[in-house]
Amino acid sequence: MSITIDEMASFCKRKGIVFPSSEIYGGLTGFFDYGPLGSEIKNNLKQAWWKYFVHDREDVVGIDGTIISHPKTWEASGHVANFDDFFTECVKCHERYRADHLIEDVLHMDVAGLKTAQLNKLIKEHHVKCQKCKSELAEVKPFNMMFTTFIGPVPSKEATAYLRPETAQNMFLDFKSVTETGRVKLPFGIAQMGKAFRNEIAPRNFLFRCREFEQMEIEYFIHPDKANECPFLDEVRRHKLLVYSAELQHHKKEALEMTMQECIDKKIISTAWHAYWLAKAHQWFVSLGADAKKFRIRQHVADEKSHYALDTWDLEYEFPFGWKELQGMANRTDYDLKQHMKHSGKDLSLFDEESKQKIIPHVVAEPSQGVDRAFLVFLYNAYQDDKQRGNVVLKLHPTLAPFKVAVFPLLSNKEELTSKAREVFTSLKTAFTTFYDRTGSVGRRYARMDEIGTPYCVTVDFDSLDKQDVTVRDRDSTKQMRVPINELKETLRRLLAGELAFSKAGTPFEPKKEVP
Ligand code: GAP
């Protein structure tokens, strides 16, 4: 049984992973701060994403754009006109609700994509009332979720600007500069990570739905006629995913496990590129230790798609509060480039050497991942309440763990042990994030490290002084091994890289995979 989202929030607070923002003033709904451990995990996660999707590839380049861009950006993108959620409030106690979520919670009905009139009709027909005081609800109204601000000292209509609700638009705004300077050639992607802001009507489920959050996004551009010419498809043809197509949803059937090749052959996913990027998104999570079976891809039904999307699939994760969107992946076609061409008057087309014609590239897939939702997935995946040990064990992948190694002297009041342990700690800390702990019993120190996900603990004892070796303890199995101090750094490096593992028998180490 996994813990509830509220229990996860209090675990994170207790351990210095995530705190409610500005808590000394009572907090601010939908805003969170990452604490000393959380900021390490989050940075590790972002670096792992950037490595996998930018550095390890030849076809994706990165940018780092501004949070506030020219206000016309959001007129062109359609966010000023369309970026609405629908809210209602209690006529008596004025409790506010996001209308679709309220109906889903009360009537257990899927209302994705319904607009004002349909939501009002459902509330009236089914007599949905305020969940707090059971009074009537006011008419449902659309509400634009962008946060506004003013540029310069005088607030006015002309000075109005927006905090970006998605990082995606920077990629379109910088498209011309990137293609002129970035040595990119179709097909290629532009990636960005950064803050996004949405004035959510009812933020909920801790980090899952906040008002300030981070995104890691790629806009992947292709030649408009080459949506099925994906040179990397072999990497994912046999990759299996639980697939929940619009048709299966329409017929109220269960999701089915399929390979990407089957999805393409049966035209369930309409382009090879889209199938490729969906599989890559899943593979990234699995590469960092997430349970492959807790994911599925779900196609947006017709009414649900954003104003810019031809086809959208979400990568979903089975949270304790249900299957929820983890990553949105729309086929945005040439919608954005064309809109920005129209509104800016600038030419954003490219010259195609093959056809000797100008073309407007299509965004065949926009992998758009929320950092905070990915963070939650990895926490849920890692969290285990180990009854035998009597403590929580956070089985984070070593890449994500805030500390890779902890070093302890067996006893804290023996100078010869503490000075040897400090020596060992100093020799490790420039190679890995290492924690030195001398307080409490060794058992208590192991438990503390288990709870924050430290993969390996090193203990310096009296034998270490004579034999120049230490005990290395494995977080996941609790097995222990003696390792000579002069081999310690390399052994830990290999353990953390997955090249070595603790053997079933406890001794000696065994190779985990082929070392190139
Ligand atoms: N550029 C496309 C786009 O922004 P989206 O589906 O609206 O698409 C992408 O958002 C991802 O951003 C979501 O799948 C989710 O991971 C994250 N996200 C969106 N709204 C969020 C919120 N209020 N709190 C936390 N993460 C959010």
Closest approach atom of ligand 1 to CA 200: 23
What is the tens place of the pLDDT at every residue in 345-377? 999 999 998 889 999 999 999 999 999 999 999
Q: Determine the pLDDT at residue 516.
A: 40
Which among 429, 494, 289, 379 has a CA at the least distance from the CA of 8? 379
Taking a C-beta distance cutoff of 8 angstroms, is the pair 337, 328 a contact?
Answer: no
Q: Determine the pLDDT at residue 329.
A: 97
Question: Is residue 145 classed as helix, strand or coil in its secondary structure?
Answer: coil
Closest approach atom of ligand 1 to CA 198: 23
Q: For 209, which DSSP code?
A: B
Question: What's the whole-number mean pLDDT along residues 243-264?
Answer: 97
Pocket test for ligand 1, best of 295, 373, 376 (most atoms within 8 A of CB): 373
Burial 256-268 (b: 16+ CB within 10 A, else e): eebbbbbbbeeeb
pLDDT at 112 over 90: no
Taking a C-beta distance cutoff of 8 angstroms, is the pair 410, 442 a contact?
Answer: yes
pLDDT at 513 over 60: no
Question: What's the whole-number mean pLDDT along residues 266-283?
Answer: 97
Pocket test for ligand 1, best of 145, 297, 305, 325 (most atoms within 8 A of CB): 325
For the chain, the first-to-last Cα distance in angstroms comes to: 39
Pocket around ligand 1 at a 6 A CB cut-off: 166, 168, 198, 200, 209-210, 213, 215, 217, 325-328, 366, 368-370, 372-373
Q: Determine the pLDDT at residue 302.
A: 86
CATH architecture of residue range(s) 84-144: 2-Layer Sandwich (3.30)
Q: Determine the pLDDT at residue 508.
A: 62
Beta-strand relationship, 434-436 and 405-409:
parallel
What is the tens place of the pLDDT at every residue in 281-321? 999 999 999 999 999 999 999 888 888 888 999 999 999 99
Percent of the chain with pLDDT over 70: 98
Q: How far is CA 365 from CA 28, 191, 194, in A?
A: 34, 12, 19
Nearest CA to ligand 1 atom 21: 209
Q: Determine the pLDDT at residue 36.
A: 97
Least confident range from 83-87, 259-263, 369-373: namely 83-87
For the entire predicted model, the pTM comes to 0.95
Q: Can you list the positions of beta strands (E) in 234-310?
A: 240-244, 256-259, 295-299
Spacing, Cα 477 to ligand 1 middle (Å): 36
HSE-up of residue 197 (Cα within 13 Å, Cβ side): 12
The full DSSP string for 355-386 is TTEEE--EEEEEEEEEHHHHHHHHHHHHEEEE
Amino acid sitting at position 178:
V
Pocket test for ligand 1, best of 173, 213, 312, 329 (most atoms within 8 A of CB): 213
Which among 433, 354, 435, 442 has a CA at the least distance from the CA of 400? 433
Q: Determine the pLDDT at residue 144.
A: 96
What is the tens place of the pLDDT at every residue in 384-405? 999 999 999 999 999 999 999 9
Which among 196, 199, 191, 239 has a CA at the least distance from the CA of 217? 191
Least confident range from 110-119, 149-158, 279-288: namely 110-119
Beta-strand relationship, 311-319 and 322-331:
antiparallel
pLDDT at 33 over 60: yes
Pick the CATH number of 403-511 from 3.30.420.40, 3.40.50.800, 1.10.3720.10, 3.40.50.150: 3.40.50.800
Residue 332: band (very low, low, confident or very high) from pLDDT cuts 50, 70, 90: very high
Burial 206-218 (b: 16+ CB within 10 A, else e): bbbbbbbbbbbbb
Question: What's the whole-number mean pLDDT along residues 45-70?
Answer: 98
Q: Determine the pLDDT at residue 515.
A: 43
CATH number belonging to domain 5-72+150-379: 3.30.930.10
Domain boundaries, the chain: 5-72+150-379, 84-144, 403-511
